[in-house]
Structure formats: structure tokens, C-alpha cells
A = this chain, B = another copy of it.
Amino acid sequence: MDLLYFEDFPPGEIVQYGDMEVSAARIVAFAEQFDPQPFHLDDAAGRETMAGGLIASGWHTAGMLMRMSCDYFLNRSAGEGSPGIAEVNWLKPVRPGDRLSVRRTTVSARPSASKPKLGIVDFSFEVLNQLGEVTMTQKNVILFKRRPVGEEAAA
């Protein structure tokens, strides 16, 4: 398998990926375990709140972003993890029947000063719904190994 290395994430690159349908059953299952607030558990209860019906937990949306990123690039990369998240913004509710995708922008990339075999890539992620609306944004760095000398770039 051709791995993606630090050098495969040029600053300024914008890619779009993922297609995840959001069901009421999955919204409720997530909420029962991690975020049992009325508007994440029940449509009728949600209608009595500012949510206006059943909406996904923001943490569920963050999990779906992670899943789409694993499937698209992380699980075929020489990734070395992320120390944390710089910022998450929940801009629009995610509702049953929505189809989510991701727009990823590579903001910057630099070799690690302390670990010469690693590079640090700064990403901005936008989670879009089927109307192209941005439902969530997230900024965070991910560490990747640098491509070993003499190895070819992935196709």
C-alpha cells in the first residue's frame, strides 16, 4: 500500500470527500450513550426547544467527520496522531436524512523542529450537508512521518 506522508499535504490544497447519511436511529443511539439531552433523543421533545426537532449531538457530527477522514486519508497515511483540536464550531443543526461530506483545506505544513522524521500539517475541516451548507468547522494539526529518502510519491 502506498502511504501518504507529510509531503503529500501541500499547503493550499482543498479536497472534498465523504458521503454519510444521518439517520434518526443513529442520532438517538449516540445521544443515549454520550449526550442524552431531549433534542438529541426525541423529535417531539426537540420541537419544544430551539432545536425545532431531533438534531444530532455536535459530538456525533465530530465523530462522523473523524470517520470520513479515516476512510478517505488517515487510514492510508503515515499519521502519528493529533495532540488536540484548536477549534470546533457548530453552525447549523444536523438532522435525520442529512447527507454529510467534508471539505478539507491544508492551511500550512512545516517540518517538526524537535523530531526531524515528522512533519506538522495544519488542517481546516468543514462538514457540509446535502445543500452545501457548512454545519461544523474544525481546525487541528496532524503529525505525519516524512517520506523516507528514495521512496516514490504515492500515486
0/1 string, A57-78, CB within 8 A of B gives 1: 1110011101100100011000
Q: Tell me if A19 is interfacial: C-beta within 8 Å of chain B.
A: no
Selected interface stretch from A8-16, A86-94, A96-104, A105-113: A86-94
- Asked if A34 meets B75 with Cβ closer than 8 Å, knowing A62-B59, A90-B84, the reply is no
Which residues on the B side are within 8 Å of A33 (C-beta)? 63, 67
Identical copies in the complex = 2
Q: CA separation between A119 and B50, bound complex, in Å?
A: 16
Residues of chain A at interface, number, CB under 8 A: 29
Which residues on the B side are within 8 Å of A74 (C-beta)? 37
Which residues on the B side are within 8 Å of A81 (C-beta)? 50
